[in-house]
Structure 1
């Protein structure tokens, strides 16, 4: 839901101004839905997509970063490498298949770090609020944490490591001819987000955990 609230909703007015004859009906839900049974024209999915009967159009990459509040780092210290996360309170997103571990990669080396924490939730905004309050660390998509990184409420760590990564796709059922309104919607958002999405700028500008 967070991507829809933060980025799709922000772009809808511009899309409707370009296509004033279209009507948009949006449902926000973190759970995967059956497009055909639900009567949906398309969905936005952030995942490593399995093979399916759906057509998938890449809209943007989705990088994840470990973040915590300045107060948390003063109290618990700053992890310098993925293995250090075993000693930290790591807040988990329940819908991920890897809820109990966080994956990282650097060069040819990979880690799959078991993590534990005081809070898990099926909503990323709950985890972000807890992290900003100093409860623990979160592994969160950069599209969710743009404003917190810009303000300094959350600080990134382990930025020289990457996680396994997901991508943001528009998916829609196979049809002989793609419905014009679906093509217009997908083209608009693919152009708006792209291979270097605007929200990643906040990560490059973010202060480190020990900076004032």
Structure 2
């Protein structure tokens, strides 16, 4: 049998976790798919899948072999694409994953990429879980994290500042926090993934102040928290990439900017440094052009754009959590 076809069949079964689904996609019979996998297992002398009537899962040997197969297939595809100028153009399906709340930042990058390369098809998957790029057949992932574990090749793109933010409507009703400790008395929203951000560590001049927030709303969707914050319901702790437009429009104002919070880095991650297909190369270049090289925060306003509102706390303002008396 054809060893290359055996590997291609194995990879699609591994990525889809179904023999039948792989057979449909490859336009082969289920029996033929099974035959290819059996031939491959016999050739390498190891079982690649644990199979039951309900599911198909990679063995430890299967996971290692999948990674090597993808390297081989990428090398083969790269060799094919390198034959002739026409074939070297970015074409085919580009699979991308990113956190849900980063999708708005990726959309214009992908739109520009598709406009420049009409033969490119994009599959954008937004999820807050950490996606296994190899097992799920993803070309490039965008990760927002304080650090990475080194599983994949990582290309730094940007820094993103973490800040406490509020809307003018909130300040008119509840006043404006003057110190980190004041947040314990204010209505705060918390993002829940990967774990609830209910305590903050502020630093200034080498000194740290830890504050437990008075959380009145929790969500794994940052835009839901931002929407409630814009209406003056509470304060939110958010990365700069979620608030650029609001900050520039003056709808949202950052608080306690003389203090620092641990921020995030934005990375492009991909399984292998070698044998990058043209579609992956042009996307990585587009990300770098849009966001940078990891040395700056492209979403934070320029100095002077975050001037605070008047810092007064009128006596008639009720404390957070109390009902404001209606006036005639």
Do both share a fold (TM > 0.5)?
yes
Matches within 5 A, 1:111-190: 111-190=209-288
Q: C-alpha separation between the residues in 2 aligned to 1:198 and 1:99?
A: 24
Number of the residue aligned with 2:101 = 2
3-state DSSP of counterpart to 2:125: coil
Structure 1 residues 112-121 or 54-63, which shifts more?
112-121
- Match among 50, 62, 81 for residue 179 of structure 2: 81
Show structure 1 runs of 5+ residues with no match: none
CA contact (8 A) 1:104 1:111 kept: yes
Alignment RMSD: 2.0
Q: What is aligned with 2:123?
A: 25
In structure 2, the CA distance between the partners of 1:208 and 1:123, relative to structure 1 (3 Å rule), is same
- Structure 2 equivalent of residue 209 of structure 1: 309
Partner in structure 2 of residue 35 of structure 1: 133
Structure with larger Rg: 2
1:204: how far off?
4.5
Structure 2 gap segments, 5+ residues each: 1-99, 312-328
Equivalences, count: 210
CA distance in 1, matches of 2:193, 2:129: 8
Contact preservation (8 Å) 1:66, 1:140: yes
In structure 2, distance between residues paired with 1:203 and 1:193: 19
With 70-79 and 39-48 compared, the bigger mean Cα shift is at 70-79
- Greater RCO, 1 or 2 (C-alpha within 8 Å, sep 6+): 1
User: Distance between the aligned counterparts of 1:26 and 1:152, measured in 2?
Assistant: 31
Any idea what SS the aligned residue of 2:309 has? coil
Greater than 4 Å deviation, 4+ residue runs: none
